[in-house]
Amino acid sequence: MPAPTSRNGRPLPETLRIERDGDVVIVRLNRPEKRNAIDDATVRGLGAFFAEPPEGVRAVVLCGEGEHFCAGLDLSSLASHSAAEGVLHSRMWHRAFEDLQFGAAPVVAVLHGAVVGGGLELACAAHIRVAETSTFYALPEGQRGIFVGGGASVRVPRIIGAHRMADMMFTGRVYSAEEGQAVGLSTYLEPPGKGFERGMALARKIAANAPATNFALMHALPRIAELGQDAGLFMESLMAAIAQAEPEAKARMRDFVERGANKVRKS
């Protein structure tokens, strides 16, 4: 099989496996011997893929090979950084995960085993998270004398609250899959071995949506949620008008109305 590439032809690292299933693409972290710890090449590869996914892709499933989703940052990559280099390294992660969160296709992350440190940062950039009951969550940076650098301080508090994130870092607290589901770290909870099946089913359902609707949910909704009420409602009106003006939306609404009328006539 040829090495996977991004749309612009740049080769992706061997630590990523890319598979196509119709209009859904599966992106696998492929470093199981390291519990899928993320090195610089993997971050750059994720950024390259999500910045320019293949043509026609309408949803992505992100998962991990082996027994774990991702055990976080490969710490060996930080060992020799100066402060300035550390800032640039963190910003590289930020760019890659921004391209995932605000990219061209919604992302369903399928989680199992370790979702730790940078792995949790990666998962929280996805739009839907499906966790298997083997999943556990942690932010061990506080115990290692460092601070998060891949977006956790922005994304994690918006999901579970700043107080819970601080507790995870202050004390090393680990959340189980069930605890993570209760506080919102996952959207769905599945038995062992069933997460990928659920993730693919969700991705196919998402891929069947009108593109303008998916765009609004990815790009407009999170920004509307951060606005004041007046500005948020105005942006909602703009997005609603844009989405419903799309030809595909008009065709879907006509089909819905006609099917409803047929049901009334038959009854």
The alpha carbon dihedral of 105, 132, 182, 142 has a sign of: negative
Q: How far apart are CA 232 and CA 44, in angstroms?
A: 34
20: its two tokens = 């196509």
Beta bridge partners of 28: 17, 63
CB atoms within 10 A of CB 264: 8
What is the residue whose two structure tokens read 């606005």? 227
Beta bridge partners of 24: 21, 59
| Distance from the Cα of residue 18 to its chain's centroid | 16
Residue 241 one-letter amino acid: A
Greatest alpha-carbon span in the chain = 74
Task: Give first-to-last CA distance, the chain, whole Å.
Answer: 56
Beta bridge partners of 203: none
CA contacts within 13 A on the Cβ side of 91: 6
- Could you list the active site residues? 121, 141
